[in-house]
């Protein structure tokens, strides 16, 4: 039997939103930690003569994964602001939305320009700056993971 949101015994919208929010947020938490601890540091080991191709491949492929998920995350975060059933969940949703905005800001105004520089050639200082500034997103997404868990277990 198919699940029907409009049946009387269907899951409430808040529950659906919280489960989706948790899934999307924790996907991004896992991804950012892999990027922070494995992928970005591995850039130091890429051969200089192949680095431009490596960096372009990274940007193309990671963008195909991250962009749609970040858009979905933003839509769900906005939805939680309107669906919150009480002041506690609304407060958590507001903090989560602020953290999502920090991630977007950091992505587009710090990480993307650094990746654009790296597409012109390997530069260890730029790689180090990419790793150092990516802690903004790593911490913010991890905090969003904590909020997602709080909202989920508060169901």
**Quick check: 144 and 25 in contact, CB under 8 A?**
yes
Q: What is the pLDDT of residues 36-60, one digit of tens each?
A: 999 999 999 999 999 999 999 999 9
Question: In terms of pTM, does the model score above 0.85?
Answer: yes
CA 24-133-53 angle, 5° bins: 80
End-to-end CA distance of the chain: 25
> What's the pLDDT tens digit per position in 81-108?
888 888 888 899 999 999 999 999 999 9
Q: Please give the C-alpha separations between residue 134 and each of 69, 83, 140, in angstroms, as whole numbers.
A: 18, 31, 10
Every domain of the chain and the residues it spans = 13-153
């Amino acid at each position: 039997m198919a699940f029907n949101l409009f049946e009387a015994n269907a899951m409430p919208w808040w529950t659906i939103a919280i489960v989706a929010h948790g899934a999307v947020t924790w996907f991004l938490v896992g991804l950012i930690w892999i990027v922070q601890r494995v992928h970005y540091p591995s850039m130091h080991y890429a051969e200089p003569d192949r680095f431009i191709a490596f960096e372009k491949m990274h940007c193309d492929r990671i963008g195909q994964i991250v962009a749609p998920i970040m858009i979905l995350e933003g839509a769900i975060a906005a939805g939680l602001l309107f669906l919150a059933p009480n002041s506690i969940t609304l407060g958590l949703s507001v903090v989560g939305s602020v953290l999502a905005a920090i991630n977007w800001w950091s992505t587009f105004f710090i990480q993307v320009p650094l990746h654009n520089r790296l597409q012109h050639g390997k530069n260890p200082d730029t790689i180090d700056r990419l790793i150092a500034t990516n802690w903004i997103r790593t911490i913010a997404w991890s905090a969003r993971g904590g909020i997602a868990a709080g909202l989920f277990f508060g169901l």
